[in-house]
Amino acid sequence: MSTLLNIDGEQQDPYTFVEEAEQLSQTPGWLLVPLALAEPLLAQGRNDAFGIVVNNHTSIEAIEPLIERASLIAVEFPAFTDGRGLSLAVRLRRAGFTGTLRARGPVIADQFREILACGFDEVEIPQTVAERQPFDQWKQAETIISLHYQTSHGAENSILQKRLAARRKARP
């Protein structure tokens, strides 16, 4: 069981996760499938929206053929301490992916601002995390940390960029 959150709160997931190729033709609606099942799904000629699930160490080259076709890319986070998915999100946005990016796994509320800054639109967290950290904590985390060290997908400047701008402004 999991909980889907975005900046507005808890959401219903319109996608059905399918792990087995045999289930592809039997499951109606929008499907979320592992990367390995994307081609078999497309071969069926379905017109429904679909999403793919990728590991946080999947190469961008493996995903690129699907960037314009998938409406959702869910990046697996095996642990909240493993930030490779954040880098993958930035690379996916730079490669032109305009659909929904989902962080999937045991990420925590303290990471929400950076998750959004890297280009993710939503997080799918295990029920145990959702029970420990209700949405109010996620919403607060999005605004409580106002400074960051890295330039992000968003429009704000990093701490370094702000310091450099202040120095330039202070020079006569």
DSSP assignment of 4-18, as one string? EEETTEEE---EEE-
- Positions of the chain with pLDDT lower than 50, given as ranges: none
pLDDT of residue 154: 55
Q: What is the largest CA-CA distance in the chain?
A: 71
Q: What is the pLDDT of residue 157?
A: 72
Alpha-carbon 156 to chain mean position: 19
Q: Rounded to whole angstroms, how far apart are CA atoms 59 and 48?
A: 26
67: helix, strand or coil: coil
How many whole angstroms separate alpha carbon 101 and alpha carbon 128?
Answer: 22
Torsion, CA 14, CA 43, CA 46, CA 15, rounded to 10: 0
- Spatial CA neighbour of 102 closest among 45, 48, 54, 137: 54
Task: Please state the φ and ψ torsions of residue 110, each to the nearest 5 degrees.
Answer: -60, -20
* Domains of the chain in sequence order: 2-146 (3.20.20.70)
* 18, 27 contact by CB (below 8 A): yes
Return phi, psi of residue 11, to 5°: -125, 155
- pLDDT at position 48 is 87
State the Cα torsion 41-49-122-73 to the nearest 10°: 40
Sheet holding 122-126, edge to edge: 9-11, 2-6, 122-126, 100-104, 72-76, 50-54, 30-34, 15-17
Judge contact between 134 and 142, C-beta under 8 A.
Answer: no
Q: What is the pLDDT of residue 98?
A: 96
**What's the pLDDT score for residue 150?**
62
pLDDT single digits (tens) 105-138? 999 998 988 899 899 999 999 999 989 998 888 8
